[in-house]
Amino acid sequence: MANHKSALKRVRSDEKKRIRNRYQHKTTRNAIRDLRANEDKKDAAGKLPLVISMIDKLAKNNIIHKNKAANLKSSLTKLVSA
């Protein structure tokens, strides 16, 4: 276990960040799933900017890789426009 005060603080802050990252990642995955399952084109087109924004935030914070974010956005845009 950690011996220094700063190391103990790092353990606490890392746990908080891990929980927040998991929440954001799971929320985004659910939004992507709902967008893919959506049958109404107009509704899907309305939700697309929100989902893309969520994906960009994950990539900005290094929760997902920037190339994965680009691939997700591209595939979702193709899906909605088709």
CA atoms within 13 A on the CB side of 77: 10
Write down the pLDDT at residue 1: 67
38-53 residue pLDDT tens: 989 999 999 999 999 9
Cα–Cα distances in angstroms (integers) from residue 82 to residues 38, 68, 79, in the given order: 13, 21, 5
What are the sequence ranges of the domains in the chain? 41-82
> Pick the residue with more confidence: 43 or 1?
43
Distance (Å, rounded) from C-alpha 21 to C-alpha 27?
Answer: 10
